[in-house]
Amino acid sequence: MLGVMEGKKDSIVSYLRHIWGTPLYDLEINTYREEGRKDVLAKWSKVQQANAKKIKTMEEATLLYPYSPEIYYNLSLLYSENGDKGKAQENILKAKQIDPSIR
């Protein structure tokens, strides 16, 4: 948190990743916009684009390997990081249906 309070770009991006999908996220993004933190917003945009690309790749992998619990598990992690708790839950349930030992 110290890095966030000091305005360090990498710390702020890490913080945004952590709060993505929560009500606090919109408030914080608006604050960085109002402060003119284009550096933070640009880096954050790259993180979001990379996540979207990873999700697309993993979704395609589910079509090729529909019985791979690892793919669904990793997809649930990506969706969770992306703030989409519904999709995260959906994919972890699919992983558990294939492999009940997954927690």
Q: pLDDT by residue (tens digit) across 29-71?
A: 999 999 999 999 999 999 888 988 999 999 999 999 999 999 9
User: Which distant-in-sequence residues (6+ apart) come within 8 Å of 60 by Cβ?
Assistant: none
User: Which distant-in-sequence residues (6+ apart) come within 8 Å of 91 by Cβ?
Assistant: 72, 73, 75, 76, 79
Say which range, 19-23, 75-79, 91-95, has the weakest mean pLDDT: 19-23
**Rounded distance, CA 51 to CA 42, Å?**
14
Under DSSP, the state recorded for 81 is: H
